[in-house]
Amino acid sequence: MKFNGAKTSRRRLLSAFAGVAVVSAAPVYANAAGFLRNAGDVRRLSMHNKRTGETIDTIYWIEGEYINPALKEISHFMRDWRRDEAINYDRRNIDILAASHRLLETTEPFTLLSGYRSPQTNAMLRSSNRGVASNSYHMRGMAADVRLASRSVSQMTSAGKACNSGGVGKYNGSNFVHMDCGPIRTWRG
């Protein structure tokens, strides 16, 4: 395999992945290696947003490095569609989503219900739904609400919990799972 003109063995690639994955996430996560190990040698994010009609299927990390143009594309995709506002979406949550998706062993893209939310959008949603947190991780670009037609909410929740790296909310009634890169915790909505 060649990348940037250098010959790379699988062993070298894996050792580079292990070192970079732990170092890049170590300040925030004691359990970072657990979910990053599940992301594989190449990390990909595949999602569809029915509200905007957009689909994203991008490799955003390879050989121990994030790909900045792909991260920008993901940040735009995860934007607050109501206000057409975007921020730099948190890479840690991209990793959680990618690892969870990989654990679910499906090629179906996640359906994105909510990524980044501006404070104004969050306040509007909170005024009509008491389940919306006033200091939501969505407002920091650290959360996503997703669903899959081919997997149950319980299966998706189990995959998110297996990452052991953030918050996982199970919303059976609304058929979605919330995943964020905040403290490790679980709840039912």
Domains of the chain: which residue ranges? 2-188
Convert the pLDDT of each residue in 7-42 to its tens digit: 444 444 333 333 333 333 322 333 444 555 555 578
State residue 156's pLDDT score.
Answer: 98
- Range list of β-strands (E), the chain: 2-3, 6-7, 42-49, 54-62, 65-66, 110-114, 143-147, 167-171, 176-180, 185-188
Convert the pLDDT of each residue in 124-162 to its tens digit: 988 888 777 878 999 999 999 999 999 999 999 999 999
State residue 131's pLDDT score.
Answer: 77
DSSP 24-56: HHTTT-TTHHHHHHTT-SEEEEEEEETTTTEEE
Instruction: Name which of 33-42, 48-57, 138-147, 165-174 the model is least confident about.
Output: 33-42
Give the Cα separation of 58 and 124 in Å (integer).
Answer: 31
The stretch 48-69 carries a mean pLDDT of: 94
Put simply, whether the predicted model's pTM sits higher than 0.85 gets the answer no
The answer as to CATH 3.30.1380.10 being correct for domain 2-188 is yes
- Whole-number average pLDDT of the chain: 83
State residue 125's pLDDT score.
Answer: 87
Q: Which residue has the higher pLDDT, 56 or 1?
A: 56
Whether 101 has a pLDDT exceeding 80, the answer reads yes
